[in-house]
Structures are given as structure tokens and as C-alpha cells.
Amino acid sequence: MEKVTLRELEQLALQAKSSLENQAQSIGRDVMIYLHWTAGHYGQFFTDYHINIDADGSIYASMNDLSEVKSHTYRRNTGAVGIGLCCAYNAVTNDLGAEPPTAKQIEVSAQVVAALAQSLDLTIDYQHVMTHAEAADEDGYGPATTCERWDLWFFDGVAQGEGGNVIRGKANWYLHSSDRYCLENKRLEELYFTKH
């Protein structure tokens, strides 16, 4: 695992763009971004995801090539980037446990989505950016059915089923913000935490 900045992530995405597009086109769809929680501990990283986000908002890349096919989303890994929030150990559908997604993880995940979307020319919408809960619902193993996978279906302060909408909304804000790199500029708390 290597700690990276948003700017470095944008460069990784630019380098992988052509390969990701070719992979996605080979199966008849656009490049996708999938958001997960690892169901592990804070500080515990997994190579199943291209990007891991720790409790304090630190970003880690598990490889140097975002087009490397990882095992993050059942039958959806080709031409896709997987982001894992390091959290949710022992979470159950009515209790996020002692290590829930932190506010910083949610904000930084939105910033990461914005950075990737910028470099990959992706629209930040349901058709291109999904939580694992949303993808699982589409494929019949999510909260609407068996609830095998319900990553980011909800989190603190967000109703069940709204996690993806909240992250996409924040990501669109960061994409169009004049200070998209507020994480590196130490303005994350000023922009978000003092207002909420």
C-alpha cells in the first residue's frame, strides 16, 4: 500500500484511462467506480480494492495501475475501479458497529470519486458510480433481497438506501468546486465539518 494524494490519484487514472475504457467496451459498458466498505478494522487495508481510505481520510493505492482487475464487486470488476473504506467491522444491517464509516471517510470518498471522474471523463451518476449495496441490488443480492452485500447503503446521519446518493452529490460538488483539493489544502474541516 502506498499513501497517495488526490493529484496523484488523478495521474494514476489518466495513465489507466485508455486501458479501463478498452476493458469496459469489451463487455459493452462504460468505465465504472464502485464504493465499498472493507468490513475490517480502521487501519486494515485490502488489496481487493484499488484504493483504500482510512478512518482519518488518508488515501492508499494498492497498485500503480488502476486498470488492474481487482476482486471487489461480483461480476463487475472488468473496466472498473474499486474504492474501499477501511471500516464496518462487525456491522449488521441495523447497527454499523464500533468502527462505522467516519465523516472524513465519506468526504474523502467523494473527493476520490471526483478526482477519478475528472481524469476518466465520467459523469458522476448512478450509471457510473455505485455503492456495493446498489450494485448488489441490481444483481439480486443486496438490501432489497438477501442483503449479502449492503456496503454504504446507509451511514451515520443518512437514511437507509441513500448512501450512494449522498456520496454522488458530494462528489459532484467537489468536481465543480474551485478548491477540489481541499484535503491537501487542510480545508476539509473548514468546508464541511464546521458547517454540519
Residue listed under C-alpha cell 488492474:
68
Q: What is the mean pLDDT of the chain?
A: 90
How does pLDDT run across 130-166, given as a tens digit for each residue?
A: 999 999 988 888 888 888 898 999 999 999 999 999 9
In order, the DSSP letters of 145-164 are TT-S--TTS-BTTB-TT-HH
Are 60 and 8 in contact by the 8 Å Cβ rule? The answer is: no
Would you say the pTM of this structure is higher than 0.75? yes
Q: What is the pLDDT of residue 194?
A: 39
CATH number for the domain running over 2-193: 3.40.80
The ranges assigned to domains in the chain are 2-193
Q: What confidence score (pLDDT) does residue 179 get?
A: 62
